[in-house]
Every structure is written in C-alpha cells, then in structure tokens.
C-alpha cells in the first residue's frame, strides 16, 4: 500500500472518530449543566455505548495497517512535517487504545458518569461517606486501566501519560520538591512577617449574582473569547469542553460574596477556550488540530487567569467598569487596594480560589494523594483524614467538613487521575511563555491598561495555538522560549510580584 492513500484513509478515520468524540463531549457537558437528575442512569448508558464505539474505531486493526504503511513511506521523512506529526500521535493513541479492552472502556464511562452525579450530591451534603463507594469503584477501574497500559512499573505513569504524554511521576516528584523548597519559605514570609497586608474583606462584600454574569462575559469578550463560537454556563465544578469547530463551551460558578473567584474562573476557562478557538480548524479531527498536552492547555488557563487577570494594569482598566456594574459596592475602594486584595496570599482551603503563591501546594497535595490511592498505599476510606492532615502540614489550615475538604474537586469522580499535575506544569509553562512574550513584544502593561489584549493573544496564536499537536509540549516550549521546561521563571516571577506588593 502506497503512503498517500493510506495516509488519507487514516485521516478520514481519525476525523470520524473525532465527530463521535464530540457527541460524547456534548452529552458530558449537558450532564453537568442542564440534565435533570432523573436522567443520570440513562446518560450513563449513553456514555458507555459511545465510549465503546469510539474505542472500537481507535483500536481497529485496520488503523495499525494504515499506520505501518505510512511509517514505511517518505511522508514521514521530515519529523516536523504535518504527516509525520499526525502519524506520530496517531500511533501513540492507537497503541494505547489497542491495549484497552472495550468492556473496561465502557464500564469506566458508565461508572464515572454515575460517580460524578454521586460526587455532586455528596459535595452538597458535605458527606464523603456518600461518595466513598463510587470512588472505590473508580479507583479499581483505573488500576485495571493502568495495568492494561503498563507504560512503566509505576501504574500512575500510565494515567499521567494520558494527559501529559511522556511525563513520569519521578520527574514530577523532582519538580514538586524544587517548588516546595522555594515556595514554602516565600508563603511563610508573606503570611507571617510581611510589613503590608491586604484588606480582603472588600472582596467578601455583596456582589449581586445577576450582575456578575454580564460583567464576566464582557471581560471574556474583551480579552478575545469569541461568543459566536462559544458560550458560558454555570455548573458545580467549572470546566471547558470543545464539541467541534466553532463550538467551545466554558463554565463557571457564581456566589454573591465571592465575586473575583467567579470572574477569575471565567478567565481560567477562557484561557482554555482561546487555545481551542486558536487551533487550526482545517486540521480538526487530527493531532494537528488538537492541543499538544493538558499541561500546555493549562498554561493558557493559568496565564489568562493569573498573569493577566491578577495584574495591576488589568484592573486599572476593568476596575471602573466593576464600580459601574456593582453600584455602591466599591465606591470607597481604591484600584490599588482592590488589586492588592485580589493578590492576597493565605493558606486557603480550596484549590480553585487559591492565590498564585500557594496554588502549587494544593496541587502537590493532590498529586501525593492520588498516587497513593492508585498504588494502594492509601485506602479511599482514609482519604478525608489524609487530606486534612496534608492541608494542616502544607498550608496550616484544616477543612471544617468534607465539602471544603476532599470533595471540593470532581476530577477523581470523573476518573481523571493524573490530571492534577498538569496545573503545575501549566504554571511553569505559562511563566516561560509570558516572559518570552515580553521579550518579543516589549512591556505589555500599557496595552493591558487600555484594555488591549490583542498583542498577547496574537503572539500566542502565532507561537502556540496554530501548531496544535505538531510538537510535544516540552519541545514546543523550548522552540518558543529557547529553554526546556524550567520552574525558575515561575518562582522568580512570584518573588518579584509579591515582594513588591507585600514589601519584603
């Protein structure tokens, strides 16, 4: 079989599989936004059937034949060529799918659909006991998945590899150790000995929820999110979902006395959305039309949420609009005091609302706990106690109940073991990318203060988004910044920013 016909058939099959995956994504999005509770059992059956159909296509031996034919052709002679990059990633996905039995794939889809509903109910009741049986089921299934994949001797590596191809737990241990050495002393200094402290009470004033959504949508549009190709909804645990070209869904949650948490969550999901909207539509359904990794995806969410959304020039532009949107709430507050409050550092209980300085400690806790759960070193029944002890040790706080403790995230309910470390990888990548953007574009602060974010967005589209999955994430970071992934720009940026704010 000649390379060209095999390659065309390979792409056709990949695009058909992507259309099916988009149907599954739509059902998953609907499940946590609009589906009535009584639909849970039928939705689980739908998700299981679709997962099986998608798996059948992904593990079809015909794909193996097509891949072998293209791999033996001149189409892959240049490793950076479109065909070579597509074949590299399609080979990786095929080899992974071929190791997984369809019954396991279907059962994972069915159980995690039901488990997410059980988690949401348990979270509302702040009662881990309600969720424990479901977590135990999910863990057993994920262990079976890891055993089937057998990426390395460490089963966690197989689960991590699904989100960050090529990443290994041992490497992450080294990264987290380095961050812990740098961040714990910084957080202690900011928390206990800094000469200046922000007034965070002004963020807990009453910001009417019905006004938060239009304000958040205006901010999202201002930074570049295209609402002709996307929409915003609310849910228990915010996420983004891409159903296909021109259809990117983002979600958030609002609370009257947590205005900035809702807004920053919008910016986080908008970051994901901007990446999805910037991918080359002509390559939809192939690796060239998809993000290189979840770590790179999270880098965009973290960049727009924190580097942009917590910056002084961002609020120099949007603070007057916030005053106008919430009459009387911020009349006695200065822009500088508001900016300082948005950047308060404290040992908080929740990851989603955590500040930049402590955020990676929240991820470290989850990384350690989920590795222990998968390895069998921690029983699901013991998770609440282990969670509380880790928060006491690393952040000096203890949850009052399971709702603000081990039930705050829905990732494990959805079977997403291995996802959490990508948030920290995203922080590392984001710091490197933004530092390079400043080198290439100059000082971005004046543009942000004018409400002009087009320069940064255009740079990201050119340097990151348009490449899709052409390069592995670490290689793309090195191509753009001249350096392999490196945690030092992140630490240096945090020290500089918070040193100025807190006077240390």
Annotated active-site positions, please?
Answer: 269
Taken in order 210, 216, 222, 226, is the CA torsion positive or negative?
negative
User: Where does 287-413 have alpha helices with state H?
Assistant: 294-302, 312-325, 335-342, 356-375, 383-395
Cβ–Cβ < 8 Å for 125, 131: no
Strand, helix or coil at 252? strand
Question: Residue 195, Cβ neighbours under 10 Å: how many?
Answer: 7
Span between the terminal Cα atoms of the chain, in Å = 67
**Parallel, antiparallel, or unpaired: how do β-strands 230-234 and 240-244 relate?**
unpaired
**In whole angstroms, what is the distance from residue 430 CA to residue 434 CA?**
6
Strand, helix or coil at 251? strand
**In whole angstroms, what is the distance from residue 169 CA to residue 158 CA?**
10
Write the secondary structure of 85-103 as one string of H (helix), E (strand) and C (coil). Answer: HHHHHHHHHHHHHHCCCHH
**In whole angstroms, what is the distance from residue 344 CA to residue 330 CA?**
18
Strand partners of residue 242? 248
Cα-flanking dihedrals φ and ψ of residue 318, to 5°?
A: -90, -15
**In whole angstroms, what is the distance from residue 231 CA to residue 213 CA?**
12
Question: Distance from CA of residue 496 to its chain's centroid?
Answer: 25
Cβ–Cβ < 8 Å for 160, 96: no
Query: What size, in residues, is the chain?
Result: 504
């Amino acid at each position: 079989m000649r390379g060209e016909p095999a390659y065309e058939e390979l792409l056709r099959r990949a695009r058909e599989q992507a259309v099916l995956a988009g149907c599954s994504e739509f059902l998953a999005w609907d499940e946590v936004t609009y589906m009535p509770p009584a639909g849970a059992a039928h939705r689980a059956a739908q998700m299981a059937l679709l997962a099986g159909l998608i798996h059948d296509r992904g593990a079809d031996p015909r794909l193996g034949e097509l891949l072998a034919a293209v791999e033996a052709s001149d189409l892959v002679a240049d490793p950076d060529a479109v065909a070579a990059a597509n074949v590299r990633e399609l080979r990786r996905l095929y080899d992974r799918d071929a190791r997984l039995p369809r019954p396991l794939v279907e059962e994972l889809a069915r159980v995690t659909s039901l488990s997410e509903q059980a988690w949401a109910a348990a979270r509302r009741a702040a009662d881990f006991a309600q969720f424990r049986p479901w977590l135990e089921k999910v863990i057993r299934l994920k262990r079976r998945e890891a055993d089937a994949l057998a990426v390395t001797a460490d089963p966690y590596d197989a689960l991590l590899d699904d989100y960050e191809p090529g990443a290994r737990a041992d490497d992450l241990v080294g990264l987290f150790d380095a961050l812990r050495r740098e961040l714990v002393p910084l957080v202690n200094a900011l928390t206990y000995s800094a000469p200046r402290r922000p007034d965070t009470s002004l963020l807990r004033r009453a910001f009417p929820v019905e006004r938060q959504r239009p304000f958040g949508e205006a901010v999202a549009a201002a930074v570049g999110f295209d609402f002709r190709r996307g929409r915003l909804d609310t849910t228990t645990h915010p996420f983004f979902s891409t159903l296909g070209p021109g259809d990117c869904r983002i979600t958030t949650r609002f609370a009257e006395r947590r205005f900035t948490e809702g807004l920053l969550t919008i910016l986080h999901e908008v970051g994901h959305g901007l990446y999805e909207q910037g991918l080359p539509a002509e390559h939809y359904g192939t690796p060239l039309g998809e993000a290189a990794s979840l770590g790179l995806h999270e880098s965009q969410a973290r960049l727009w949420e924190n580097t942009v959304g917590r910056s002084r020039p961002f609020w120099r532009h949007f603070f007057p609009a916030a005053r106008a949107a919430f009459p009387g709430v911020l009349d006695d507050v200065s822009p500088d005091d508001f900016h300082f409050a948005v950047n308060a550092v404290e040992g908080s209980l929740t990851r989603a609302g955590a500040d930049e300085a402590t955020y990676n400690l929240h991820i470290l806790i989850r990384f350690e706990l989920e590795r222990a759960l998968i390895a069998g070193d921690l029983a699901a029944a013991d998770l609440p106690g282990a969670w509380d002890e880790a928060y006491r040790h690393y952040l000096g706080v203890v949850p009052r109940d399971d709702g603000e403790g081990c039930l705050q995230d829905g990732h494990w309910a959805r079977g997403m073991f291995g996802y959490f470390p990508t948030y920290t990888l995203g922080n590392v990548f984001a710091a490197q990318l933004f530092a390079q953007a400043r080198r290439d574009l100059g000082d971005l602060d004046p543009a942000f203060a004018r409400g002009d974010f087009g320069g940064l967005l255009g740079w990201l589209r050119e340097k990151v988004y348009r490449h899709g999955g052409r390069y592995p994430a670490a290689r793309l970071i090195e191509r753009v910044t001249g350096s392999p992934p490196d945690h030092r720009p992140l630490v240096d940026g945090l020290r500089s920013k918070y040193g100025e704010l807190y006077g240390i």
